[in-house]
Amino acid sequence: GAGVSQSPSNKVTEKGKDVELRCDPISGHTALYWYRQRLGQGLEFLIYFQGNSAPDKSGLPSDRFSAERTGESVSTLTIQRTQQEDSAVYLCASSLSAGAYEQYFGPGTRLTVT
């Protein structure tokens, strides 16, 4: 009964570099969400995947952010040309289905852009 896993746990990158963050949802969970948590703030929704449907990208802050998910498995969040304001904890959550309310979060990836 593994939970949601994310890698890496910490990432330090230089401004302008691209980064890729990975999320492994709970097995059997078809819905997957990415959120961003800035220091001392609540979580902000970024993007949502459900099965093979088109993702809901309404929370992505700029076109430097993109995400992919293959079927109902792993998802990657990519940030291109990172900026200092991208520094945050990026959290992934999965849910049993699109209609399920409960979301289960991974431990997050702490991204620091220097």
Contact set with another protein (CB under 8 A): 4, 31, 33, 35, 40-45, 48, 50, 53, 56, 59, 91, 93, 95, 98-108
Between residues 1 and 14, which has the closer beta carbon with respect to another protein? 1
Least distance in Å: CB of 67 to another protein? 14
- The span from the CA of 110 to the CA of 68, in Å, is 19
- The span from the CA of 25 to the CA of 75, in Å, is 8
For residues 76 and 68, the answer to whether their CB atoms sit within 8 Å is: yes
Least distance in Å: CB of 34 to another protein? 11
Provide the pairing of β-strand 10-13 with 109-113. parallel
Least distance in Å: CB of 64 to another protein? 21
